[in-house]
Chains A and B, each alone.
Chain A
Amino acid sequence: MAEQQFYHALKVNNDLCFGCTHCMNVCPTGAIRIRDGKASIRKNWCIDCGDCMKACPVDAFYIEQDDFDKIYHFKYRVALVPAVMIGQFPSNISESEIFSVMRELGFTHVFQTEHTVDVIHELMLEEARSATDKPLISSFCPAVVRLIQVKFPSLVDQIMHVKPPIDTSAIFFRKKLQDEGIPDEDIGLFYVTPCAAKIAIVKSPVKDRPSPVNGVINMDFLYNKVLHGIKNRSGSSTRSPGDNLPNLGPKHISWSLTNGEAPYMKGRCLAIDEIHNVIDFLERVENDEIQDVDFLELRACDESCAGGVLVVGNRFLTAERLRKRAQLFKDIHGMPDDLVPYRDYMKSRVTVETPEPRSMLMLDTDTGVALQKMEQVRKFMCYLPGIDCGACGSPNCLSLARDIVQREAQLSSCVFIQRTMEKHRKLHGDHAIRIIEKTWGKDRLDKDCTKIGAKDEGS
C-alpha cells in the first residue's frame, strides 16, 4: 500500500524532542507515535497541517527550507510573497517598505502570490457550472486535500481541479520573465511559505512536469530578516519596492483568509476553517446529511493562512490588517493588466487531476483479513482501560489496539495492563520498566530537575 509516500517538510529534531504526548494528542489524523523517547510521524498519515508544531512545548518540530544563499545560484531572484506576509507587520510599516527591504536582502523581483487569483476564480466558476456532484470542495488548502485523500477518500472526486495560487503565480511570473528575454535557467523563483503543507506541493511536482518553483523560504525566517532590516536603519529604504507591484484588489488581498473564496462562488457556499471543524463537516458531507450546498471553502488553519504555523504575527491582527487593506483598495476590480494577455496560456496550464484516494483507515486491503483484524481489535479493547492516556506511545486505546493487530505494539505496552500482569505475577517489575523505556527512552523516569516546571527548569 505504501508504494509512494507523501513528501513532508515537517520534521522532528531528535535532539530537542524529549518525548511527551502533546503532539500525539493533537494530531488530527493520529499520525504520531512515541518510540524510543521521540515523536515519530507516519508519513502516509501525516497531512502537514502543522498542529504538532503548534503544540510542541520545546519547539522540536521544524519545517525544512532551502538555504537562503541558494537564491544566489540565479541571476534573477524572484520572491513570491503571499498577502499574509504583509499582514503580520505592525501597521506603521508600509507594504512598499517591506518589499524594498526584501530587494535589499537580495531579491531582484518581489511578486505577490495572489496576482493570478482571477484565473483560478474563472476556472472554478466554469467547473462549478458543469459539476453534478455537489458540494464542490476548494483545492486551495493542500492540507485539506491530503486530509480528504487519507480520511475521506470517497470525497476526492468533489475536490476542484484548479491549482492553488502559489503554483499558478509561479507559472505566470516565470513565463512573463521568459517573455522579457530572460533565459529560464537564470530565473530563480522562491516561495515564501506560511505553512508546511504548501511546501509539499512545491516539492512533489505532478508527474513529469517539473515544479515552477526553485525553492522555499519559511515565512518566519524572512519576517525576522525583514524586520531586522527595517529596525536597523535610519530613514527609509533607498531601494524602490520594484516596478512590478500593481495594487491588487479586495478579492486578491483576502483570498487566503477565511471567506476569501466563498463570497465569489455561485449558489450556497460555506467557508469553514480549523482542521477539526473541517473534519466534523466532511464527516457530515460524507453521510449525505448536508443537502443543497454548492461550494465548500475549507482551510486547515484557524483564520486560514493568517493562522499558518510559520506566520509570526497574531492571526487575528494579521487578518484585520488585510481586511483593512482590502477595504482601502475596494475600487480595484478584475484581472491585473499584465495577466490579461496570458489568460488562455494560464488556463490551459493550471488544472490538476483528481488526487488519488489513500485511505489510512483500512486494516488490510483484503476485506476478509481486515475483518479478522477488526475482531482482534475489538477483543483487545475489552482489556484496554479506555483511559486514552497515551502512556503506551499511541494516541489512545483504540489506536494501541490497532497498532497491536498491525504488529507495531504489544498489549504490554499499556501501563495499566502491566500493573495487572504484575499483580498476577506474569510480569516482573524490572521488565515493566524496560517496556516503558522502550517507548519513552532509556532513563526517562530518572529524576530530572531541568524539565519544564521543575526546580531547576531551563538550566
Chain B
Amino acid sequence: MEFRYEIEGGNFSRAGHASSAVKKILKQLNVDNKVIKRVVVALYEGEVNVVAHAEKGSMMVDIDEQRIRIRIEDSGPGIPDIDLAMQAGFSTASAAVREMGFGAGMGLPNMKKNTDQMHVTSEVGKGTQVEMITWFRQ
C-alpha cells in the first residue's frame, strides 16, 4: 500500500505532519510499538531535514506485511559530502534554525540508527534522496 505526503520547505510549524500520519497507519496495522517508535523518529528527522534545508520535498511510503519502505526526495541545495553529513554533530544549519531547536547535526545519523537500511544520494544544487527500509519483525 502506498502513501504520498508533500513537505513544505521552511514551514517548521508543519514539520511532523507526515510522520504523524504514518504513525497512525502503523498503529492500525498492529505493528510493534518499538518498531513504530523507531520508524517515526527516523521519519520526523527526515521531514525536518527537508523543512530546514530544501525548498520542497515529498515522502513516499510503501507498506507491505513485512516492512515499510520510505523514500524522501527534495529539491534543495544537496549534500556535497554525504560521509561528513552522516557524522554525528556535523551541521550546516544557520544560527536562526538552531535557535528554534533544530540543526544539532543529529539528523542523518539518527535516521540511520533508527532504520534497518538507509541509502542517501544527492546532487549539489539539485536535491537529496533518502531511502529507508525497516522490517516489522527483527
Contacts and interface: CB of A to CB of B under 8 A. Distances in A.
Interface of A: 153-154, 283-284, 286-289, 291, 357, 359, 361-368, 370-371, 374-375, 378
Contacts of A375: 1
B114 to A, nearest CB: 9
B63 interface: yes
Residue in A359, A367, A370, A375 whose Cβ sees the most chain B Cβ within 10 Å = A367
A366 B28 CA distance: 10
A288 B29 contact: no
B137 to A, nearest CB: 9
Nearest to B45: A288
A365 B31 CA distance: 9
A217 B113 CA distance: 52
A108 B25 CA distance: 55
B16 A367 contact: no
Nearest to B63: A371
A365 B34 CA distance: 16
A374 B64 CA distance: 11
Given A283-B20, A361-B24, A291 B30 contact: no
Interface string B19-50: 11001110111110110110011001000000
A357 B29 contact: no
A371 B23 contact: no
B136 interface: yes
B30 A364 contact: yes
Contacts of A284: 16
A377 to B, nearest CB: 9
Of all A-B residue pairs in the complex, the 4 with the closest CB atoms, nearest first, are A154-B33, A362-B30, A368-B65, A361-B27
A361 B44 CA distance: 21
A94 to B, nearest CB: 49
Given A367-B65, A371-B64, A374-B25, A287 B30 contact: no
17 contacts: A283-B20, A284-B16, A287-B23, A287-B40, A287-B44, A288-B37, A291-B101, A361-B24, A362-B29, A362-B30, A365-B30, A367-B29, A367-B65, A368-B65, A371-B65, A374-B29, A378-B1
Residue in B24, B28, B40 whose Cβ sees the most chain A Cβ within 10 Å = B28
A363 B44 contact: no
A104 B64 CA distance: 67
A366 B33 contact: no
A363 B25 CA distance: 10
Nearest to A373: B28
Given A283-B20, A284-B16, A357-B33, A370 B28 contact: yes
B37 A154 contact: yes
Nearest to A366: B30
A370 B34 contact: no
Contacts of B27: 153, 359, 361-362
A356 to B, nearest CB: 12
